[in-house]
Amino acid sequence: MNNASLPGAGAALPAPVLRPRRIRRTSAIRDLVQETRVTAADLIAPLFVKEGTDAPEPVGSMPGVFRLNLDDLVAECRALAALGIRGIALFPVTPPALKNPLGTEALNPGCLVLRAVRAVKAAVPELVLFTDIALDPYTSHGHDGVLTPDGTDVDNDATVEILARMSVLHAEAGTDFVAPSDMMDGRVAALRAALDAAGYPQTGILAYSAKFASAYYGPFREAVGSAAAAGTKLLDKRTYQLNPANRREAIADALLDESEGADLLMVKPAGPYLDILRELRDASSLPIAAYQVSGEYAQIHAAAEKGWLDLRKTRDESLLAIRRAGADLILTYFAKALATDLAATHGRAV
């Protein structure tokens, strides 16, 4: 069928008054009017550090992600800084022999993550370091805190006391931001008070403020061994992490962290919770971080490996969506790959 055979063919159609396609006509015009961009400087690279001198150990469920010894960690940090990435988030892989129900290794001044902070700060001082404040890498049961005497729940106040002491050790080692990911009540205020009292008023707090009890964390738990510590991949953290169904509760928690002295707020996971990210952006003037978590990363890779999605285009679109929703900073396992691609094409942003 040609146009002449269509009903009404030959009749003059009114010209559109507005033509939005004019600003999509060429790539140059599209670049000029693009509202959202992602640059290497917007990204924080999560890195896993392990004991020993063995070669990098791949994380099976996260293609391109490795557990690194200290020397390899420093080399990786140098490479990331050269690509324009400004920050890293460190996560230790604690040997099982050092884990116990109280997570006491977290308070060891010579523990792995503190040695990693010192090594990275000595080698690449310009990198901004974020260190995780939670007990799940150190507990034999895999929870983010110590358990109540009957073992049925995490003891909020006892955990917060430990986390406050832990934050001071991290500040002493040289971290720029402590990042409490535990979701205990009152922990931001306790960390701020402990840091200030110990003489570290310049150490910042990146609060995992809207952290949901998500199914997307599985590959991360494999990477650090927290699920394996408990003998399960199905740790139930719903008594402290947020209900995925609750929007108002998430915003209230985040604003509480702001009132307690957080410097940065976070939404985690990022992609499935863009509505929360947008609403928090509108509710707070603080910088907002979003964590594109291990499950988000893994599902994009898995679909790409099957040929169902274009890896690079899907990666870039997912990160643009997180920025568009309101994130100032994005923690993502795609950080190095994106920065590498931008450098290779002399591009400055997606």
Annotated active-site residue 306? The verdict is no
pLDDT score at 16: 85
Apex 125 CA angle, 124 and 130, nearest 5? 95
pLDDT at 290 over 80: yes
pLDDT of residue 226: 75
CB 90 within 8 A of CB 113: yes
Q: What is the mean pLDDT of residues 301-315?
A: 98
Average pLDDT for residues 27-52, to the nearest whole number? 97
Are the beta carbons of 331 and 288 closer than 8 angstroms?
no
- Domain boundaries, given as residue ranges, for the chain: 37-344
Segment 33-51 shows an average pLDDT of 97
Angle between helices 156-173 and 187-197 (to 10 degrees): 40
The string of pLDDT tens digits covering residues 312-331 is 999 999 999 999 999 999 99
pLDDT score at 235:
73
Quick one: pLDDT band at residue 229, thresholds 50, 70, 90?
Answer: very low
Task: Provide mean pLDDT across the span 136-155.
Answer: 95
Q: What are phi and psi of 58, to 5 degrees?
A: -70, 145
CATH class of the domain at 37-344: alpha beta
Per DSSP, the residues of 264-313 read: EEEEESSGGGHHHHHHHHHH--S-EEEEE-HHHHHHHHHHHHTTSS-HHH
Peptide bond into 58 cis (omega under 30): no
Question: Mean pLDDT, to the nearest integer, of 10-15?
Answer: 78
Quick: pLDDT tens for 75-99.
999 999 999 999 999 999 999 999 9
Distance CA(239)–CA(245), nearest Å, equals 14
Higher-scoring residue by pLDDT: 222, 132: 132
- pLDDT at position 8: 60
- Alpha-carbon dihedral sign for residues 152, 158, 160, 164: negative
Is the per-residue pLDDT at 1 higher than 60?
no
Say what the pLDDT of residue 319 is: 98
Helix axes 294-305, 311-325, angle to 10 degrees: 150
Residue 268 catalytic?
yes
Among the options 211, 306, 313, 336, which is catalytic? 211
Can you give the pTM of this predicted structure? 0.93
Residues 102 and 139 sit within 8 Å (Cβ to Cβ): yes
**pLDDT given at position 13:** 84
Does pLDDT of 244 surpass 70?
yes
Q: What is the dihedral of CA 47, 293, 104, 94, to 10 degrees?
A: -50
Our CA dihedral for 265, 270, 276, 281, rounded to 10 degrees, sits at: 50
CA–CA separation, 268 and 276 (whole Å): 10
Predicted pLDDT at 70: 98
Instruction: Tell me the mean pLDDT in the region 144-157.
Output: 95
Alpha carbons 91 and 97: distance in angstroms, whole number:
18
Q: Which of 15-19, 48-52, 122-126, 180-184 has the lowest mean pLDDT?
A: 15-19
Pairing mode, strands 288-292 and 66-68: unpaired
Predicted confidence (pLDDT) per residue in 197-228, tens digit? 999 999 999 999 999 999 999 999 889 987 55
Give the rounded percent of residues in the chain with a pLDDT score beyond 70. 95
- For residue 289, give Cα distances in angstroms to 95, 226, 315, 327, 332: 30, 24, 18, 5, 11
- Position 17 scores a pLDDT of 85
Annotated catalytic residue, options 268, 306, 313, 336: 268
Q: Which residue has the tokens 């996260």?
A: 62
Sign, Cα dihedral of 54, 181, 36, 44: negative
Average pLDDT over residues 56-66: 96
Beta strands in the chain (DSSP E): 43-50, 57-58, 66-68, 87-93, 128-133, 177-180, 204-211, 264-268, 288-292, 329-332
Quickly state the pLDDT bin for 2 (edges 50, 70, 90).
low
